[in-house]
């Protein structure tokens, strides 16, 4: 508005996932210059690796495509991938930030043609698939990747192969001597939207994740069900590629547990209900068992819960699952649990067990380089930082729709920080 | 300004190896007499762009046809200013990456795409933004409760003027009655004090906020940036012009008189959660029956919620609200027995800490369905319950007070379905899936389709989109808080701020003549050639956003600032009078007519694919990116939304001799994925109508096919396209081919 006099109407959004993209775009479409800083080589964050959203069972790429188009069409949005913020100094409305960019070894001349990948021989664990598959050392992170630009893995830098990769590019896009660089920006406010990480399931020793091949986490299961995942969307047992006929979901794997995450992660109930449909939609003879404490399907999500619950192939068992053991011969995994309704001790074998691991805010480990406050579990506190406004899962564990809502609110708070002065 | 087309063919990324580029150039310069046509081996490079820029500057080229990669990529690289129309020919992803190199059919495909784009470039004009009159950037907030107050404060803090309308004489809404809120800050174990008076003071004290209490909205006419609001305040009238609206009228508790099975209305000591909150607020918590202190209380959760007989949904806040109220009792007297009967205890996120604290405080949590609340014969109430799953009786406890955690009912759902104008006798019945509009007396919009925001399931005027939770079906009107979905206080306050930003964004975009989401920034808008209008009302009925009003003679009255630029009206119009400068029935029709259709004996059928540009078109790109192959007879035209498909295109294609038409649209139905709500559904309805016509013309209706496709269904595309091609071969050539 005209009565606002401020030189610095620009915002920095840290994190290019659903929360960050939303905060950035909502602010940019209100007329503010926005910079997005994303650690990965592509925008989209964690949702890009998911198969479908609950409760509509629609693909995340659909909404991402719209958001990417909003970026492409809006000159007020600039973004940096493979980038991190290393310093934030100043007062709300007048901040100096330093951004560090890791080398991609591919510059903006890249057309996405893929000749570099053809020249590459080394295969590296595919980070997009959490290492469940491999990818050439010159790779496009995934087919919807935005920007559509290849990455050269640092593993081959300095080798003869790297020279070959460079020679294969007719456009001069491969730059093997690219180095890490840093630069400064002046912005009015920062939205911190670095999202979440799955709780490290290996810490729940009795579930045997990392030991038993057929015990996976919910984020891995998303990849197993995705058409662009390691099995092209066909759900198979990791141990032997056999079809999964009988799956168990263990809720609150780490969440609502004083020894792990004392809070409820808010989304895992619905995620498991959704994931049960992945398998049941693929195989009419498959069955799913969900071990839960409470099914927290809030609001209209109740409809989705009711729909899945009504499927006779789905069984809900109110029980906190105990130990999981593996039959080394067959790969079958056995879940032990006490049914809280009947008091019976259950011991049942499954083809696959999915641990509904909870959300850990990224800020539990990767702190904001500014004077900000966190709660005991590393969630970034609202309003604590003045110029650093948390959005989405760094603030509290929430689903996608709530993250977007939260990010929109955070964008307004950031705008206020720039107009207040 | 005279149009001068420049065509630029990139030979990089395999295009030059797979195609006869000289022949392509000949199409441009020979067939289409394009004055400037150049090839470049790396068109998106600085050098390639300099080549184009030089032609713009020196040759006066102002319409650019870029035959290179997909329009999804290199958008920046090929942007030469808003006044330079750019048309992209997708030779890379959809020709050479998905078809064999050096093949005759691949070459024909590329040449057709070039023809189609050259035709489009010739026909289209750069959009001229719509300029409204007397534009307002003020924000109207309807409802002065927690959400409305927050929205008003937040919008004002960003520098915008706000008009706040509250129906009761005091601000504060439901929150006036509330003692404390559930915890929002660590350690999340205690209810927290909330300074409602402070918030009210900020709002009433702000020189940016005009407050109307004891008021209701009598009428809202107009459109974003030009809404005229009539406010009725205690008998007097006021008028305000505003730019956008936040609807924050909240929810009401479910009518407990319907919960007789839980003892309400039968026993005075059975009360609702809001009644209990009022008792605490007044500092007098007593048994209504006898005024005696409460020495034992039971909370019954999901009283009316999660119940197909009452509210099928979960009201989202009542579990935590009951935990909070249980804490009031335990804080007052740790010895008071407190029972909570629940199905699932939904203390999500950090509310888990409050739940844990109450477990430590000794609250009895009973998982069961309450089957009866009865006199225990000793002056108290006996609550009996059975197990949720096994239905075996699990408990019967005597208490002094029973609190029903009644759910929330959106104020937007409180109204009878509004009946849109019925077609007059003799008029054709439109089989359009009409939105449910409930006359809830909140906004009283002067909109042809009805006076309120269309209601989604259970009457909530919510967004259907997970990724875009503020997408209501009325442009510039953003519901926030419990009116749009069940939610707790903390989320309602966030929602208020988010909706305030959406309102701000809407006025800023609209003031520049730009569309809001999902075609954010689009400067084009539909123009109506009224001389040929037959008053058929299809456009006014079918617009998913209710953008078009009607005069008494049923002439459409467009409101460009309500428009989302999907083109559904353009697809609906049988007279083809609705056009955008750069997107019209004529432009697409001419593209179709410029497809070269080989003669019958060449045995090269042609398939027109009209593909939703948001989902199906990117999916087609993915086929190329994965280097999968599909039938080379297809010619794809991206459309803004499949709902913009005009049936004349199908007629054009068939009379041209094209053998089949495939419509690729988004999923419709309950979990629709169409970004324009019902575009693909409308296209499907229209297609079913043309099938009857085709049958009459003895032209097999199987020549037109509709497929629902999501963006990740690219793996199925080759099969869909090849399958359709093979079915068409079985049908034989289009009999109109050689006419």
Average pLDDT (B484-498) is: 97
The SS3 assignment for A207 reads: helix
Per-residue tokens: B90: 């997708």
A323, A349: one domain: yes
pLDDT tens string B546-578:
999 999 999 999 999 999 999 999 999 999 999
Mean predicted confidence (pLDDT) in B371-378: 90
CB atoms B505 and A26 under 8 Å:
yes
> Are B215 and B240 part of one and the same domain?
yes
Q: Could you give the percent of chain B with pLDDT greater than 70?
A: 97
A257 touching B (Cβ < 8 Å): no
Clarify whether residues A46 and A122 are in a common domain: no
Q: Is A72 on the interface with B (CB under 8 A)?
A: yes
- Residues A260, A323 within the same domain: yes
Q: Which residues of B are less than 8 Å from A111 in CB distance?
A: 12-13, 42, 44, 69, 74
Q: Give percent above pLDDT 90 in chain B.
A: 90
CA torsion sign for B311, B317, B320, B322 is negative
Q: Which domain holds residue A86?
A: 10-102+180-196+360-419
In a domain, B648, yes or no: yes
State whether B259 and B218 are in the same domain: no
- Band of residue B739 on the pLDDT scale cut at 50, 70, 90: low
**What's the rounded mean pLDDT across residues B463-484?**
96
Same domain? For A257 and A383 the reply is: no
What does the block give as tokens for B722?
């090849």
Q: Which chain B residues are within 8 Å of A56, Cβ to Cβ?
A: 464, 466, 671, 673
Whether B320 contacts B347, CB under 8 Å? yes
Q: Based on the fold, state whether residues A139 and A268 are members of the same structural domain.
A: no
For residues A222 and A305, membership in a common domain is answered with yes
Q: CA B20, CA B27: separation in Å to the nearest integer? A: 11
Please, which residues have CB within 8 angstroms of residue A329's CB and are 6 or more apart in sequence? none
What is the band of B694 on the pLDDT scale with cuts at 50, 70, 90? confident
> How far apart are the C-alpha atoms of B243 and B562, rounded to whole Å?
11
- A209 and A348 together in one domain: yes
> Is B384 near chain A, with CB under 8 Å?
no
pTM over 0.90: yes
Between positions 597 and 656 of B, the ones with CB within 8 A of A are 614-615, 618, 622, 625-626
Q: Chain B contact for A296, CB < 8 A? A: yes
Both B696 and B611 in one domain: the answer is yes
Residues of A in contact with B491 (CB under 8 A): 402, 405
Cβ-defined contact of A299 to B486 (cutoff 8 Å): yes
Residue A404 lies in a domain: yes
CB contact under 8 A, A409 and B501: yes
Q: Which neighbouring-strand residues pair with A348?
A: A335
DSSP B95: I
Question: Do A74 and B494 count as a contact with CB atoms less than 8 A apart?
Answer: no
Task: Calculate mean pLDDT across residues B3-18.
Answer: 97
What pLDDT is attached to residue B424? 52
Q: Identify the pLDDT of residue B518.
A: 95
| Residue B528 domain flag | no
Number of folded domains in chain A? 3
CB contact under 8 A, B353 and A171: no
Residues A364, A353 share a domain: no
Nearest to B468 among A63, A112, A420 (CB): A63
Task: Among B93, B126, B159, give the residue marking a domain's end.
Answer: B126
Chain B contact for A290 (CB, 8 A cutoff): no
Note whether residue B554 is domain-resident.
Answer: no
* pLDDT at B425 > cutoff 60: no
Would the CB atoms of B42 and A171 count as touching at under 8 Å?
Answer: yes
Q: What is the pLDDT of residue B34?
A: 97
Region B650-662 average pLDDT: 94
Q: Would strands B393-399 and B381-386 be described as parallel, antiparallel, or unpaired? A: antiparallel
Using the structure block, give the residue that is written with the tokens 């009711």. Answer: A306
Rounded-to-integer distance, Cα B108 and Cα B20, Å: 10
B420 shares its domain with B386: no
- B12 and B61 both lie in a single domain: yes
Report the residue of B505, B518, B624, B718 to disrupt the A interface, i.e. the one with the largest count of A CBs within 10 Å. B505
Residues B239 and B297 in one domain: no
Chain A CB within 8 Å of residue B193 CB:
no
| A213 lies in the same domain as A187 | no
Q: What is the domain-level CATH number for residue B474?
A: 3.50.50.60
pLDDT confidence band for B432 (50 / 70 / 90):
low
pLDDT at position B253, please?
A: 97
User: Residue A300: which of B348, B485, B618 has the nearest Cβ?
Assistant: B485
pLDDT tens-digit series, residues B43-72: 999 999 999 999 999 999 999 999 999 999
CA distance B533 to chain A (A): 34
Look at residue B274 and tell me if it is in a domain: yes
pLDDT of residue A4: 39
In a domain, B239, yes or no: yes
- For residue B420, what pLDDT is reported? 59
Q: With 90 as the cut, is the pLDDT of residue B165 above it?
A: yes
Q: Is B469 on the interface with A (CB under 8 A)?
A: yes
Residues B219 and B244 in one domain: yes
Residues B366 and B283 in one domain: yes
My answer on whether B363 and B240 are in the same domain is no
Q: DSSP assignment of A65-118, as one string?
A: HHHHHHHHT-TTEEEESSEEEEEEEEETTEEEEEEEE---SB-TT-----HHHH
CATH number (domain holding residue B103): 3.40.50
Distance from CA of B428 to the nearest CA of A (A): 34
Q: Give helix B318-332 / helix B273-282 axis angle, nearest 10°.
A: 40
Total number of domains constituting chain B: 4
CA distance A10 to chain B (A): 14
3-state DSSP call for residue B427? coil
Looking at the structure, do residues B612 and B730 belong to the same domain, yes or no?
yes
pLDDT of residue A34: 98
Same-domain pairing of B614 and B702? yes
Residue B428 confidence class, pLDDT cut points 50, 70, 90 = low
Is there a domain that residue A295 lies in? yes
Q: Of B356, B381, B406, which marks where a domain is finished?
A: B406
B503: in domain:
yes
Q: Are B248 and B261 found together in one domain?
A: no
Label residue B396 by pLDDT band (50, 70, 90).
confident
Given A338, A357, A376, the domain boundary residue is A357
Q: What is the DSSP letter of A395?
A: T
Residue A5 belongs to a domain: no
Task: Tell me what pLDDT residue A419 has.
Answer: 81
Q: Which of residues 506-545 of B touch A (CB under 8 A)?
A: 508-509, 516-518, 520-521
B518-539 average pLDDT score: 96
Q: What is the mean pLDDT of chain B?
A: 95
- Closest-CA residue of chain B to A147: B73
Residues A60 and B474: their CA atoms lie apart, in Å, by: 24
Between chain A and chain B, how many beta carbons pairs sit less than 8 Å apart? 242
Q: What's the CA gap between A223 and B688, in Å, rounded?
A: 38
Q: Which residues contact A352 (CB under 8 A, 6 or more apart)?
A: A214, A215, A216, A235, A237, A238, A244, A246, A247, A248, A333
Does A321 share its domain with A231?
A: yes
Domain that holds residue B597: 583-739
For the sheet with B364-367, list strands across it: B270-272, B401-406, B297-303, B338-342, B364-367
- The series of mean pLDDT values per 10 residues for chain A, 421 residues long, is 52 98 98 97 97 97 97 96 96 93 98 98 97 97 97 97 98 98 96 98 96 97 97 96 97 96 97 98 98 96 97 96 95 95 92 98 96 95 76 97 97 89 50
Residue A172 lies in a domain: no
Of B355, B380, B406, the one marking the end of a domain is B406
């Amino acid at each position: 508005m005209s009565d606002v006099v401020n030189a610095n109407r620009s915002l920095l959004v840290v994190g290019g996932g659903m929360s960050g993209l939303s905060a950035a775009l909502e602010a940019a479409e209100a007329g503010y210059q926005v910079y997005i800083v994303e650690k990965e080589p592509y925008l989209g964050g964690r949702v890009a690796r998911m198969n479908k959203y609950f409760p509509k069972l629609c693909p995340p790429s659909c909404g991402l495509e719209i958001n990417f188009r909003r970026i492409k069409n809006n000159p007020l949005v600039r973004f940096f991938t493979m980038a991190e913020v290393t310093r934030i100094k100043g007062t709300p409305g007048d901040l100096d930030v330093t951004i560090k960019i890791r080398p991609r070894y591919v510059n903006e001349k890249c057309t996405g043609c893929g000749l570099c990948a053809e020249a590459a021989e080394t295969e590296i664990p595919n980070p997009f698939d959490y290492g469940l598959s491999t990818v050439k050392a010159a790779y496009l992170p995934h087919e919807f990747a935005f920007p559509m630009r290849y990455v050269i893995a640092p593993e081959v830098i300095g080798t003869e192969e790297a020279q070959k990769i460079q020679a294969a590019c007719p456009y001069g896009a491969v730059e093997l001597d690219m180095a890490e660089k840093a630069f400064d920006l002046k912005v009015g406010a920062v939205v911190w939207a670095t999202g979440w990480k799955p709780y490290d399931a290996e810490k729940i020793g009795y579930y045997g994740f990392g030991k038993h091949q057929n015990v996976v986490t919910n984020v891995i299961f998303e990849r197993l069900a995705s058409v662009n995942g390691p099995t092209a969307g066909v759900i198979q047992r990791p141990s032997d590629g056999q079809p999964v006929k009988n799956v168990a979901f263990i809720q609150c794997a780490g969440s609502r547990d004083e020894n792990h995450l004392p809070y409820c992660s808010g989304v895992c109930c619905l995620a498991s209900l959704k994931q049960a449909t992945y398998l049941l939609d693929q195989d009419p003879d498959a069955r799913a068992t969900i071990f839960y404490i409470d099914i927290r399907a809030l609001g209209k999500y109740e409809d989705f819960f009711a729909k899945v619950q009504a499927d006779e192939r789905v069984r809900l068992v109110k029980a906190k699952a105990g130990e999981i053991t593996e039959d080394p011969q067959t790969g079958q995994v056995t879940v032990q649990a006490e049914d809280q309704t009947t008091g019976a001790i259950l011991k049942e074998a499954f083809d696959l067990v999915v641990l509904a691991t909870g959300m850990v805010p990224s800020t539990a480990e990767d702190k904001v380089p500014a004077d900000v406050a966190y709660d005991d579990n590393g969630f970034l506190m609202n309003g604590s930082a003045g110029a650093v406004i948390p959005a989405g899962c760094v603030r509290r564990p929430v689903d996608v729709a709530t993250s977007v809502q939260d990010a929109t609110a955070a964008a307004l708070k950031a705008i206020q920080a720039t107009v207040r002065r | 300004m005279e149009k001068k087309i420049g065509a630029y063919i990139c030979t990089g990324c395999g295009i030059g190896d797979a195609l006869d580029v000289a022949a392509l150039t000949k199409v441009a310069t020979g067939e289409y007499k394009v004055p400037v046509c150049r090839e470049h081996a790396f068109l998106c490079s600085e050098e390639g762009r300099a080549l184009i820029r030089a032609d713009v500057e020196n040759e006066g080229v102002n319409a650019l046809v870029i035959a290179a990669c997909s329009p999804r990529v290199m958008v920046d690289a090929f942007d030469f200013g808003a006044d330079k129309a750019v048309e992209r020919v997708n030779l890379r992803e959809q020709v050479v990456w998905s078809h064999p190199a050096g093949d005759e059919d691949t070459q024909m495909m590329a040449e057709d795409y070039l023809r189609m784009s050259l035709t489009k470039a010739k026909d289209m004009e750069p959009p001229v933004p719509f300029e409204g009159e007397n534009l307002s950037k003020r924000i109207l907030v309807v409802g002065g409760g927690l959400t409305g107050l927050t929205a008003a404060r937040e919008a004002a803090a960003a520098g915008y003027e706000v008009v706040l309308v509250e129906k009761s004489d005091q601000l504060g809404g439901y929150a006036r009655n509330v003692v404390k809120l559930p915890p929002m800050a660590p350690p999340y174990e205690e209810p927290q004090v909330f300074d409602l008076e402070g918030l009210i003071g900020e709002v009433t004290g702000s020189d940016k906020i005009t407050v109307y209490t004891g008021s209701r909205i009598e009428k809202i006419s107009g459109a974003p940036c030009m809404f005229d609001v009539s406010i009725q305040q205690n008998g007097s009238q006021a008028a305000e012009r505003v730019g956008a609206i936040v609807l924050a009228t909240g929810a009401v508790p479910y009518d407990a008189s319907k919960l007789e099975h839980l003892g309400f209305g039968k026993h005075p000591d059975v009360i609702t959660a809001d009644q209990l909150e009022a008792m605490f607020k007044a500092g007098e918590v007593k048994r209504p029956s006898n005024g005696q202190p409460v020495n034992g209380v039971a909370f019954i959760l999901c009283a009316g919620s999660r119940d197909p007989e009452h509210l099928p949904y979960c009201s989202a806040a009542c579990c935590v609200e009951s935990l909070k109220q249980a804490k009031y009792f335990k804080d007052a007297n740790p010895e008071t027995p407190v029972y909570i009967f629940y199905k699932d205890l939904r203390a999500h996120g950090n509310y888990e800490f409050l739940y844990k604290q109450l477990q430590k405080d000794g609250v009895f949590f009973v998982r069961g369905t309450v089957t009866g609340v009865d006199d225990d014969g000793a002056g108290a109430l006996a609550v009996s319950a059975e197990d949720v799953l096994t239905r075996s009786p699990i408990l019967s406890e005597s208490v002094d007070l029973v609190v029903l955690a009644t759910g929330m009912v959106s104020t937007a759902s409180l109204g009878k379905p509004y009946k849109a104008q019925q077609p007059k006798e003799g008029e054709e019945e439109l089989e359009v899936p009409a939105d449910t509009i409930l006359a809830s007396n909140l906004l009283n919009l002067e909109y042809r389709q009805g006076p309120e925001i269309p209601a989604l399931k259970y009457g909530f005027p919510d967004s259907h989109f997970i990724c875009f939770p503020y997408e209501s079906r009325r442009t510039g009107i953003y519901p926030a808080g419990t009116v749009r979905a069940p939610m707790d206080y903390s989320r309602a306050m966030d929602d208020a701020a988010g909706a305030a930003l959406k309102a701000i964004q809407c006025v800023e975009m609209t003031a520049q003549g730009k569309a809001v989401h999902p075609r954010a920034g689009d400067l084009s808008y539909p123009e109506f050639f009224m001389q040929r209008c037959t008053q058929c009302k299809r456009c006014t009925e079918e617009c998913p956003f209710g953008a078009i009003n009607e005069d008494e003679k049923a002439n459409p009255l467009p409101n460009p600032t309500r428009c989302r630029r999907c083109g559904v009206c353009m697809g609906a119009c049988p007279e083809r009078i609705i056009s955008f400068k750069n997107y019209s029935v004529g432009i697409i029709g001419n593209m179709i007519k410029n497809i070269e259709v080989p003669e019958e004996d060449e045995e090269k059928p042609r398939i027109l694919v009209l593909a939703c540009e948001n989902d199906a078109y990117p999916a087609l790109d993915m086929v190329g990116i994965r280097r999968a192959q599909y039938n080379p007879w297809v010619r794809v035209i991206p459309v803004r939304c499949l709902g913009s498909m005009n049936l004349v295109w199908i007629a054009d294609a068939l009379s041209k001799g094209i053998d089949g038409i495939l419509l690729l649209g988004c999923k419709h139905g309950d979990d629709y994925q169409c970004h324009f709500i019902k575009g693909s559904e409308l296209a499907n309805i229209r297609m079913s109508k043309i099938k009857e016509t085709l049958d009459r013309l003895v032209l097999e209706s199987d020549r037109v096919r509709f497929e629902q496709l999501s963006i990740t269904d690219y793996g199925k595309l080759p099969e869909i396209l090849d399958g359709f091609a093979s079915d068409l071969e079985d049908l034989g050539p289009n009999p109109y081919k050689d006419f």
